[in-house]
Structure 1
């Protein structure tokens, strides 16, 4: 008996030894490394200039400046400053999380999702490519991103009810949106900004981008469907098996909540909210503040229909917010990385160094180098429009010099921006979704990395095609 117990203890020690570091440790490690680099890398900066109302980099203005090393105090305060700078995302996360907790507590969503899952019995796998396509097309056409985040719990619950795991529910929403951004063909927040800076005709080169979007959709659908089929057959293969067993938002299809007139009314209100959300984002320019207000208002209406007491409403709302505290703090830690790079004046140094290296490579390797660089840069600069403003004033003229078409350099930007967004912990969009899905980033990163590797290979093939065919008009 002692031998068995000793063996069990040894196994436990080995598991602990090889444990993936907590996301807070990873982020703090990156902050520390970036702070140290500010003492080693000579500081430099580009001047900014105005281009059609946008502040972009002046590609001819790079110069070294006095070293600005990040002190220990600056490094530590970067976290609180990061939280302040990402306050909109943090409070968006709190409000939407609390509101969704109230709506879910009525039981209407559970009952509606349960009925849908039962009706799809035997055909539920088709949900995966359909939902991926819907979120993907939203990303490709109008840059759907943060507005998809509140829908994560809904699809997680649906996938759990169909016998899959929370990874599948998270992926069909978030990876779907990432496919749209990578294969964007109309997105006004990245593609059209980049084409404007590169002086390309608006929405030009659409054909190859649609082909890229289709290829990414097909390989992603097949990969997730294969995984979903395996998990349904053997749930213990899921990295979320233990955590999913103890979720309070999972459904028992044999014992669904009542679905009477009151629950139907709540479901109708929720669906109307989704329609209003899409209309508000596309037509009225809504962003996080308006989306948060919409969810909060909807939760109040649903609480009234469900005859929820005032105190109960407040308690459920508060608990929903509390459950997302970790995810909200991670957003602030993530932003702290950019704060440190800015304090140390080394972000533009990285950009200038990459441009210098790419400028001496043969054309085909320059195109591939641009693709790799944009993927890596997006690990710290996750805004599509921000990355376009930062890199395209350099990459567009550089593309001319190294015989790469400007259209190809923009495709490299799009793919890098899309694929990296569902891996990097710096992405507030990703961390908000993971918080709502109740999935630890460490588990998600390990799970999604092989898929991103496949998508990266597809993107690389299209970059080579673009270079060989002189993807244009120029």
Structure 2
């Protein structure tokens, strides 16, 4: 009954992203009938395609028809096929990891060990969820742990908001700084023709800063509630049994080996990317191998492996369709030959201001777009084909453009009501969006300020390799 209620509440409050994206697609089609067509020449530079800033010229107009509007959806899915299947494979592998029970057992074991050490609960649990967000792109998967952390937090003298924030804000820290998030930085860097996961050092620094600031904010609030419980919020329409014990699911030797293999996978991934310049295809192959290895270690049958992989991949379906629909918008802009015209006028405006301010403008623009496109991979597919060449034109490094996207995307995940999983999480905890927004707004503003400063500094230091 509780799950049904969560789903119903989520559908009621969340704005349908597909409707919004189709609206963007429709606007793009209309623009092809209004905006003059134009083209830049592209030149090859160190293996990547770069816009020649002095080559813009107007060409014959080719407005997109009503039928082409709908055919662009299929074309967009086909053109984004490499990214879509990459996401399916990563999701499938995480599905197999989940089926082994290793992650769930680890979280339950950690929560139980911290149940009598309330001062360590917030920093340690948030660190785990932050790592999960940074390396696996944990978002929707975090919802399963809200019913576990909320009653634990309440029983320790905190409140529902504290327990929910440990999960949602924790995962958001990692997703935002995206040390090796395959669904945001991985996709965005691929589109921008940057080496996959390059620039990792700067993102690690940002991870530490975001983590410290966020933990301090939540810890300070939690301690106020512990001293005066009347300051806390204890949910609406959802009752948690704070006396219930965390299920005893011990972390077995098999679970430890599975988790070790999962961590080693990222070591191999980093080595492959740095030493052999691995790209999406090679990374996908590595995750398929990982899924088979942890299947054997976890003693899953062939049928269980396939079912778990399919379930994990199925969880990525909505995100993959968003990627395809986002690419459809670019298909329309390209077929109408107006994407370069938009680039020309945007760069003309930005040329009047220093490139540092241009980088800040990209960050703010990405934050606004994220309200419409809450999917990180979908936003990468929609914006990076435009932002990468725009960065070249206005003197901003492509790596800075990717950073602008990833930071703006992650921060918005825990405040914008268009984020479906976030709204579902609030419904699960019984927290009205207005109550959450009022509480978390100071942290969100602080994170946006850190993000803006990080982008400005990145461009000043020519954050690269290019």
* Shorter-chain TM-score tier: 0.5 to 0.7
Q: Is the 8 A contact 1:102 1:313 kept in 2?
A: yes
Report 1:233-382 matches (<5 A): 234=233, 236=235, 254-257=246-249, 259=251, 263-284=252-273, 285-360=277-352, 367-373=356-362, 375-376=364-365, 379=369, 382=380
Displacement after TM superposition at 1:105 (Å): 2.7
Query: Offset at 1:390?
Result: 0.6
For residues 45 and 171 of structure 1, do their structure 2 counterparts lie closer, same or farther at Cα, with a shift above 3 Å needed? same
Return the offset for 1:280.
Answer: 1.9
RMSD over equivalenced CA pairs, Å: 5.0
Q: Where does residue 394 of structure 2 map in the other structure? A: 395
Cα deviation digits, residues 334-388 of structure 1 (max 9, x gap): 2222222222222222221122223445x5xx74355214542684973798667
Contact persistence 2:392–2:398 (CA under 8 A): no
Native 8 Å contact 2:77 2:321 kept in 1: yes
- Tell me, what secondary structure is at the counterpart of 2:33? helix
1:105 and 2:106 aligned: no
Contact 1:43 1:64 in 2 (8 A): yes
Taking a change above 3 Å as real, the CA distance of residues 69 and 213 of structure 1, as seen in their structure-2 partners, is: same
2:36 is aligned with 1:42: yes
Which among 68, 73, 86 is matched to residue 92 of structure 1? 86
Distance in 2, matches of 1:215 and 1:126, equals 13
The Cα of 1:308 is off from its aligned counterpart by 3.4
1:417 aligns with one of 401, 405, 411: 405
Q: Structure 1 residues 121-130 or 458-467, which shifts more? A: 458-467
> Does the 8 A contact of 2:139 with 2:171 survive in 1?
yes
- CA shift, 1:50, in A, is 1.5
Q: Identify the residue that residue 73 of structure 1 maps to in structure 2.
A: 67
Q: Is the 8 A contact 1:368 1:463 kept in 2?
A: no
Question: In 1, Cα distance between the equivalents of 2:320 and 2:398?
Answer: 32
Given the superposition, is the C-alpha separation of residues 299 and 39 from structure 1 closer, same or farther in structure 2, using an over 3 Å criterion? same
User: Mind listing any 5+ residue stretches in structure 2 that lack a counterpart?
Assistant: 1-8, 151-162, 227-231, 370-377, 414-418, 428-432
1:464 deviates by 7.8
1:237-278 Cα offsets, whole Å, 9 max, x none, are 7xxx97x99xxxxxx85323354xxx4224313322322223
* Structure 1 partner of 2:158: none
Contact 1:108–1:257 at 8 Å: present in 2 too?
Answer: no
Structure 2: distance between partners of 1:466 and 1:105: 40
**Unaligned stretches of 5+ in structure 1?**
1-14, 137-143, 195-201, 246-251, 397-405, 426-433
* Cα distance in 2, alignment partners of residues 71 and 110 from structure 1: 51
Once the two structures are TM-superposed, the CA of residue 228 in structure 1 deviates from its matched residue by: 8.1
Distance 1:214 1:93, change over 3 A: closer
Residues 1:412 and 1:229: Cα distance change in structure 2 (over 3 Å):
farther
Q: Is the 8 A contact 2:88 2:316 kept in 1?
A: yes
Contact 2:359 2:404 (8 Å CA) reproduced: no
Higher mean alpha-carbon deviation, 52-61 vs 168-177, is at 168-177
3-state secondary structure, aligned to 2:247 = coil
Distance 1:305 1:188, change over 3 A: closer
- What CA deviation, in whole Å up to 9, does each residue of 1:301-352 have, x standing for no partner? 4444444343343333333333432232222122222222222222222221
User: Aligned residue pairs: how many?
Assistant: 396
Are residues 352 and 222 of structure 1, via their aligned partners in 2, closer, same or farther at CA, if it must alter by over 3 Å?
Answer: farther
